[in-house]
């Protein structure tokens, strides 16, 4: 098994190195690719130094079985043919192909089998906010079909990349020192603030991030459920949180929901309000599952249920989900 990472120096690229080592992903060789800027840098993987090669339109992907790609939509579009032309499966973290009909969009806990049909050799990894939400929604949808979802997100700086995390720390220092605050990666100062804009606005008044939650949820869950999202950047460092209101066809009780989540793949129930126990991003950064808590009936809707979920956006929201897709293909004998 020959594995490649494209976009090694980014936050998600670095997480790929960690997740592949942590899960002892079966492989004989790991190739690292990056821009001309990061080419030549070396990273340690399982005690071995690997030098980053510059991504070029050549035959470097000959013999590669799976390529984990996280270098932005432009690079994914530009290099998809180069990466897949010798048969490598490209698992793409960008938004480039997510809504294409001939590219499956996969969260293994929800629609793993979709990964088997990939006419272009590309499998798309969904946006992080969608991934954690659909992992939490799936067990409810199995009890009674979800008709409607309202969600408000609380997205950490990590969603905007490694440099954005550094900028948030810098902003806190500058603000506390009374210095002018550096604003480059966010649209406003994030330290001591919240920004109700993640990505750019579309014509209907929703942001691209919010429309991803609408479109991707429907594609992954094979549903016509309506989804309305408000996505907010908050000044936490890592792990996204979401407040979710769900309307199902038939009422689902809190007990049924708890039971379903207790037995669901990839979910940890953390819901003991009497002991002040519920998921919080500070403590969930670096963890694999989606944590669910604050479960209660929606007072405004007898078919409604409300909950809170938190998950590490770089891990389950990106690198881990992609690696789990590859693990599923291996298990199914569909990848070497």
Annotated binding site for NADP(+): 9-12, 37-38, 158-159, 180, 313
Report in angstroms the alpha-carbon separations of 87 from 53, 61, 63, 64.
20, 9, 8, 8
Q: In the complex, what is the shortest distance from the CB of residue 285 to ligand 2RA, in angstroms, rounded to a whole number? A: 14
Q: Taking a C-beta distance cutoff of 8 angstroms, is the pair 29, 92 a contact?
A: no
Residue 213 binds ligand 2RA (CB under 6 A): no
Of the residues 155, 171, 236, 321, which one makes contact with ligand 2RA according to CB under 6 A: 155
Residues 175 to 204 in contact with ligand 2RA, rule: CB under 6 A: 198
Judge whether 240 counts as a catalytic residue: yes
Residue 129 binds ligand 2RA (CB under 6 A): yes
Which C-beta is closer to ligand 2RA: that of 5 or that of 335?
A: 5
Q: Give the residue at shortest CB distance from ligand 2RA.
A: 159
Residue 210 binds ligand 2RA (CB under 6 A): no
Which C-beta is closer to ligand 2RA: that of 114 or that of 312?
A: 312
- Tell me how long the chain is: 336
Q: In the complex, what is the shortest distance from the CB of residue 178 to ligand 2RA, in angstroms, rounded to a whole number? A: 29
Give 77's DSSP letter: H
* Packing angle, helices 208-221 and 128-143, rounded to 10: 40
Residue 167 binds ligand 2RA (CB under 6 A): no
Q: Nearest to residue 327, comparing CAs of 9, 22, 13, 10?
A: 22
Which residues does residue 229 pair with via DSSP β-bridges, in sequence order? 151
Q: Taking a C-beta distance cutoff of 8 angstroms, is the pair 286, 314 a contact?
A: no
Q: In the complex, what is the shortest distance from the CB of residue 75 to ligand 2RA, in angstroms, rounded to a whole number? A: 15
Residue 311 binds ligand 2RA (CB under 6 A): no
> Catalytic: which of 128, 150, 231, 309?
128
Residues 126/132/137/142 CA torsion (nearest 10 deg): 70
Question: Of all helices (H) and strands (E), which one includes residue 254?
Answer: helix 254-262
Residue 160 binds ligand 2RA (CB under 6 A): yes
Q: Is 177 exposed, middle or buried (0-12, 13-18, 19+ CB in 10 A)?
A: exposed
Q: Which stretch binds ligand 2RA (CB under 6 A): 32-40, 80-88, 155-163, 266-274?
A: 155-163
> Catalytic: which of 150, 231, 240, 309?
240
Q: Which residues bind ligand 2RA (CB under 6 A)?
A: 127-129, 155, 159-160, 198, 209
């Amino acid at each position: 098994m020959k594995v490649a990472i494209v976009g090694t120096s980014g936050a998600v690229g670095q997480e790929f190195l960690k997740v592949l080592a942590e899960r002892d992903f079966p492989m004989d060789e790991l190739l690292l690719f990056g821009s001309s800027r990061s080419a030549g840098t070396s990273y340690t993987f399982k005690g071995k130094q690997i030098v980053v090669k510059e991504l070029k339109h050549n035959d470097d992907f000959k013999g590669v079985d799976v390529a984990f790609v996280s270098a932005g939509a432009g690079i994914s579009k530009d290099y998809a043919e180069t990466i897949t032309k010798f048969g490598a499966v490209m698992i793409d973290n960008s938004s480039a192909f997510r809504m294409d009909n001939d590219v499956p969009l996969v969260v293994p806990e929800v629609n793993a089998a979709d990964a088997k049909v990939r006419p272009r050799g590309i499998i798309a990894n969904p946006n992080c906010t969608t991934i954690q939400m659909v992992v939490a929604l799936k067990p409810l949808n199995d009890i009674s079909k979800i008709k409607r979802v309202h969600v408000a997100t609380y997205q950490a700086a990590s969603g905007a990349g490694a440099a954005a995390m550094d900028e948030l720390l810098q902003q806190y220092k500058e603000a506390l020192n009374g210095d002018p605050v550096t604003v480059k990666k966010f649209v406003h100062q994030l330290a001591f603030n919240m920004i109700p804009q993640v990505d750019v606005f579309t014509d209907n008044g929703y942001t691209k991030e919010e429309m991803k939650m609408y479109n991707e949820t429907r594609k992954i869950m094979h549903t016509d459920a309506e989804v309305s999202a408000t996505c907010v950047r908050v000044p936490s460092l890592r792990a996204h949180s979401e407040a979710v209101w769900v309307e199902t066809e038939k009422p689902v009780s809190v007990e049924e929901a708890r039971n379903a989540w207790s037995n669901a793949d990839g979910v940890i129930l953390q819901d003991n309000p009497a002991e002040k126990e519920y998921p919080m991003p500070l403590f969930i950064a670096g963890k694999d599952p989606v944590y669910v808590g604050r479960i209660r009936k929606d007072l405004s809707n007898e078919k409604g249920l409300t909950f809170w979920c938190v998950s590490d956006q770089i891990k389950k929201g990106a690198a881990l989900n992609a690696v789990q897709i590859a693990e599923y293909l291996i298990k199914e004998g569909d990848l070497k």
